[in-house]
Amino acid sequence: SHCCRLPDNVTFEEGALIEPLSVGIHACQRAGVTLGSKVFVSGSGPIGLVNVIVAKMMGAAAVVVTDLSASRLQKAKEVGADFTIQVKNETPQEVASKVESVLGGMPEITVECTGVQTCIQAGIYATRSGGTLVLVGLGPEMVTVPIVNAAVREVDIRGIFRYCNTWPVAIALLASKRINVKPLVTHRFPLEKALEAFETTKRGEGVKVMLKCDPTDQSP
């Protein structure tokens, strides 16, 4: 009952990405992304990227992504982000102001994927009054946040932990080709080069690094 069969038209490589995709589906469902939503995704790692993909699939009109890395922001553009902001030394309030500027208004929904204290703060400041901030990234147990700012503006703060009953949905979306996760894979290695694959990941060079166990199939 806990096994999900992959349809014949879903590759093993796509199957390996069902787990992060499920996180994105759960986050966007909890956030209430719908047709016309303006969405701010904080963090352009694998989880941030799947949230971009899912938010656009669910009808978001505009998605902006922030990150420190220019290369990861470029990947965000490739998977559907409408705007990107490279964060340097800005305060959380300054980041929120930039988000509002590029979107032409404050986002109804913020999906925070880093777990970093300043990013959570920026998420609260950026979200429109009455909007929703979903905490996906897990950082330290205790963080300082502008809770009064969220309270007086009625910003809902929701947490998620991984996913909940979203694997069948993820598989169905992949099988129907409504979602394309293949751009997340930036490096592929045969099994005998596993050490090189792990070192590539450790250096932070890839988004998703794939080990291909079948020596006769090194294609995407």
Task: Tally the domains of the chain.
Answer: 2
**How far is the C-alpha of 59 from the C-alpha of 77, rounded, in Å?**
17
Q: 3-state class of 85 per DSSP?
A: strand
pLDDT tens-digit readout, 57-105: 999 999 999 999 999 999 999 999 999 999 999 999 999 999 999 999 9
Same domain, 58 and 134: yes
**How far is the C-alpha of 51 from the C-alpha of 49, rounded, in Å?**
5
Same domain, 24 and 81: yes
Average confidence score pLDDT of the chain:
93
Q: Is residue 6 part of a domain?
A: no
pLDDT tens-digit readout, 15-27: 889 999 999 999 9
Which 8-state DSSP code applies to residue 75? H
Assign residue 56 the CATH number of its domain.
3.40.50.720
Q: What domain range includes position 137?
A: 12-159
pLDDT reported for residue 1: 64
**How far is the C-alpha of 180 from the C-alpha of 98, rounded, in Å?**
29
pTM summary value = 0.90
Same domain, 120 and 16: yes
Same domain, 60 and 137: yes
pLDDT tens-digit readout, 24-41: 999 999 999 999 999 999
Same domain, 140 and 76: yes
Same domain, 111 and 190: no
Same domain, 122 and 203: no
Phi–psi pair at 13, nearest 5 degrees: -65, -45
**How far is the C-alpha of 59 from the C-alpha of 202, rounded, in Å?**
35
Map tokens 């293949």 to a residue: 182
H-helix segments, 39-116: 46-57, 70-78, 92-103
Same domain, 124 and 39: yes
Q: How many helices (H) and strands (E) does the chain have?
A: 9, 8
